[in-house]
Amino acid sequence: MACRACHEKHGILQCSTCEWTHYCGARCADADWQRHFIEDHACEERLAPATRVLEPERPGHGALYVGGINAMLKLDALGIDAVVSVLHRMHPDEEAVLRTLIAPEKRPWKRYFFYDDPAEPISDAFEESAAWIAQQLAAGRNVLVHCWAGVSRSVTLVLYYMITRRGFADADAALRAVRALRPQANPNDGFMNQLKNRHQ
């Protein structure tokens, strides 16, 4: 398999995240990381752009968005002032790219580490994330909650916020409201059960 960056030498280094992209050496890998991270790892987001799912609760408050990893390219265009990332732990080079795109020196950034696996204890982040989102919105910041595709992990945290801070009756009612704007929203069954178990 040829090196993805130079296309001339044999690829011997393998991307640790996707496990199918190869490079001939560290120089090509380093040169290509940002493009690979955005174009290949974020392909789902081309079908799932960031979505504004809640308008400001009152004048002076921010709006709430849900999206995937490629929304990182659109933060300024969307007017995003604060970011919640819900991802697995990343390769150091991916971590550096993400940090560069988010620019935490100019916008608050909250991170959680979960896989999109029904057994993951995402409920551990429910209350802290909801309080943080509420604080940022009240400060007038537009908040983006994102995972890889903006389908399961990020939507789960947004549903909890909607139930506990915005008066939605339960997880099903909140999910219906999100799907009206973002049809691909689909938390896995384990995450939905965790939401329902917290608010029966």
- Domain co-membership, 139 together with 78: yes
Q: Do 75 and 18 belong to one domain?
A: no
pLDDT, tens only, 41-73:
554 444 456 999 999 999 999 999 999 888 888
Chain-centre distance of CA 136, in angstroms?
17
pLDDT tens digit sequence for 80-123: 999 999 998 877 777 888 899 899 999 999 999 999 999 999 99
Q: Give the global pTM.
A: 0.79
Given a contact cutoff of 8 angstroms between Cβ atoms, the answer to whether 168 and 177 are in contact is yes
The strand pairing partners of 146, in sequence order, are 67, 85
Q: Are residues 107 and 177 in the same domain?
A: yes
Range of the domain at 159: 44-198
Provide the number of structural domains found in the chain: 2
Active site residue 18: no
Containing 86, the helix (H) or strand (E) segment is: strand 82-87
Annotated active-site residue in 3, 24, 28, 147:
147
59 and 26 assigned to the same domain: no
Q: Indicate whether 20 and 55 sit together in one domain.
A: no
